[in-house]
Amino acid sequence: MRKGLAALGLGLAVALGVPAAAFAAERAPLLMEGKKTLYQRVLTRPGAVLKREAGDGPGAAQPALTRFYVYDRKTVGKSEWLEVGLTARGRTDGWISADFTLPWKQQLALAFTNPAGRDRALLFRNRADLVGLLEADAPGKAEAPLRKEALSGKPVPQVVSIEPATYVDIAKRFYLLPILSAEETFTGTGHRARVLEIASVSQQDDAKAGQKPADAAPALRNFRAAVVFVIDTTISMGPYIDRTREAVRRITERVEKAGIADRVRFGLVAYRSNLEAAPQLEYTSRLYADPEQVKSGKDFLDKVAAVKPATVSTPRFSEDAYAGVMTALNDIAWNNFGGRYVVLITDAGALKGNDPLSSTMLDAPQVRLEAQHRGVAIYAMHLKTPEGKANHAEAEAQYKELSSHPLVPRPLYYDVPVGAVEAYGKIVDGLGDAIVAQVNAAYRGEATPGAARTSDPAFLKGAENPADRIKLDTAMLGHAMQLAYLGRVEGTAAPPLFKAWISDRSLAQPEVPTTEVRVLLTRNQLSDMQQVLKGIAEAGQAAQLAPADFFSRMRSVAATLGRDPNAVNAPNATRLADLGLLGEYLDDLPYRSKILDLDQQTWSSWSIAQQQAFLDEINRKLRLYQIIHDDVDRWIALDTGADPGEAVAAVPLDALP
């Protein structure tokens, strides 16, 4: 066994189904068993050869990870052969031995979470070996000797491989762990866990296959961090704007003395509210300082010298905070930095996505998913001034949701009672100190310690003082960001093919996930989902005037979209899911759809406000899908671009309808 399962390769070629009717005039691939719209697909294993005829002589070697549709199956001698094509458009390319293919039935991408704060997951050869450990009285203690042997490079019969030491971001370096089977169980300590059988075909450079992981120190010396302040610049924010400038001045003096000025960069985005409602506000959001363009502390202060509080009031007490955050996420080249921090500073809540004045039409969950896609941590500094007392609870809920991070057990939310400028300044200074210490250590070739583990009671409790708490949180995130950075710059190799069993939870820390689920959606499927949700939103809006007509309107939507007439007209169809509104590509996923579970009785029992909240959530998801659709960097062509509609994007499970 190689030492470490390193960066899993650039993309298991997996595409998802296209409605069979789309190619009715052409020869179609075989359908999956029990499906009406999803075609059979396989991935090539190493050694696969594409031949003109089944079993016929030499052929063309195929790269591992190539995705093919299956058009026919034939037995030659004792071997099964598959007639395959790169696309589902009716053209076949030849025959491949089934022994050199891996069937792909699921559309879930199992991604490792960042290993900061937990032990690296082991991948076991047999189910019994993993289940035996899970059912032990102390699973983590029972697993520890196996991990020690595996990390030492010694063969471990029970272990196929081990999770990468550094983080492989599936959004940047696409890989796939297909789930072959899954079952839920309980550990010996009473915690719930999933046992997953997975397979992986991974690209690798054979010349590097036997190399040990590189020393991290040289790579860490190039680690850079960007801290972008997103600050509310409405009338009441003058003192905090000045204190933010003062904090950056202090920090930049420190980094310049330490000789690492090029490795800690600062930026600033200012935001207010809707210009149509109040043109004198000058802007909704504006990038004043791009960290990639700022060359020094003085340069930063020069660029933000023009940042002043607005001279007129905004239409609402809440401002367009999400516009400011999205400007920071979209307009800054985060790929140039290892440490990625956005610091939101405000004394008011954020305009909701359904507010006519909102420029993004998004709420905290969608903005948070966009930040996670870019590897950016969002801090929220909420100034609880007396003037905003009536808004405090709502704003706190919004910003706790926005600043939640999968690697920290509490939101990166820091409230400042009565909006005290001095208390705010200490928190900002604490954040700056932690980031500077992180980058300074990296410059010396030292990894940032992982702070405390997320299960450590001391870490969970944290410091009582927010300035100390932000240092603890940032140390934990700093370690995770370094692992992600090293994962991008190191070229360690992965096994060319393996099947294994893995727990979705850490054996030593069962409350900590080792994996997360992404759903691979094609452009065609995302567009279909958008059409469906748009139809539901429009029909639901009309049904608010006549609630009893809701389900009949949904039947009309399903019929208009060409869904199965038998399902649309079935008398026993009571939920939206029964109408076949969303395609089979969402079947069997490990989540419950609040939208598809809706029925006529529930809709009629809701108040107008509850119905509108449901429709608002649909509209926010539609806006998120449009962002995904328009982001060319998210789409991976698995057929060398033969069919643009079948490029895939890895969509978080939380983003589904």
What is d(CA 635, CA 632) in angstroms, rounded to the nearest whole number?
6
pTM more than 0.85: no
Sheet bearing 108-112, strands edge to edge: 108-112, 515-522, 648-652
Residue from 455, 508, 503 nearest 139 by CA: 508
- On whether the CB atoms of residues 221 and 338 are closer than 8 A, the answer is no
Give the tokens for residue 448.
């940032």
Give per-residue burial for 247-273: e unless 16+ CB within 10 Å, then b: bbeebbebbeeeebbebbbbbbbbbbb
Q: How do residues 125-176 score in pLDDT, each as one tens digit?
A: 899 999 999 999 999 999 999 988 888 878 888 988 888 887 777 666 666 6
Mean pLDDT of 66-91: 90
Q: Residues 41, 45, 49, 55: is their CA dihedral positive or negative?
A: negative
Higher pLDDT, 105 or 7: 105
Mean pLDDT of 227-254: 89
What is d(CA 443, CA 334) in angstroms, rounded to the nearest whole number?
19
Task: Give residue 588's pLDDT band: very low, low, confident or very high (50, 70, 90).
Answer: low
CB atoms within 10 A of CB 102: 22
Give the tokens for residue 217.
């120190």
Q: Which CATH superfamily is domain 221-421 in?
A: von Willebrand factor, type A domain (3.40.50.410)
Give the tokens for residue 393.
């609870």
Q: What percent of the chain has pLDDT over 70?
A: 85
Give whole-number Cα distances, 618 to 130, 378, 553, 628, in Å: 40, 24, 16, 15
Task: Give residue 453's pLDDT band: very low, low, confident or very high (50, 70, 90).
Answer: very low
- On whether the CB atoms of residues 378 and 300 are closer than 8 A, the answer is no
DSSP track, 306-321: T----SS--SSSSB-H
Residue from 15, 26, 31 nearest 90 by CA: 26
For residue 44, what pLDDT is reported? 82
For residue 591, what pLDDT is reported? 61
What is d(CA 537, CA 532) in angstroms, rounded to the nearest whole number?
9
Contacts of 96 (CB under 8 A, 6+ apart): 42, 44, 48, 49, 50, 51, 62, 68, 81, 82, 84
Task: Give residue 455's pLDDT band: very low, low, confident or very high (50, 70, 90).
Answer: very low
For residue 232, what pLDDT is reported? 93
Backbone angles phi, psi at 344, to 5 degrees: -85, 130
Give per-residue burial for 328-344: e unless 16+ CB within 10 Å, then b: bbeebebeebbbbbbbb
Q: How do residues 602-640 score in pLDDT, each as one tens digit?
A: 888 999 999 999 999 999 999 999 999 999 888 887 666
What is d(CA 201, CA 386) in angstroms, rounded to the nearest whole number?
58
Average pLDDT of the chain is 82
What is d(CA 148, CA 621) in angstroms, rounded to the nearest whole number?
45
Q: Which fold has domain 20-103?
A: SH3 type barrels. (2.30.30)
Q: How many CA atoms lie within 13 A of 446 on its CB side?
A: 9
What is d(CA 301, CA 248) in angstroms, rounded to the nearest whole number?
8
For residue 210, what pLDDT is reported? 34
Q: How do residues 6-59 score in pLDDT, each as one tens digit?
A: 323 323 333 333 333 333 346 899 998 888 888 998 888 778 899 999 987 888
Residue 67 host element (H or E): strand 67-76
Give the tokens for residue 96.
């491949």
Mean pLDDT of 112-131: 88
Mean pLDDT of 189-206: 69
Residue from 82, 117, 85, 88 nearest 101 by CA: 82
What is d(CA 295, CA 265) in angstroms, rounded to the nearest whole number?
8
Higher pLDDT, 548 or 380: 380
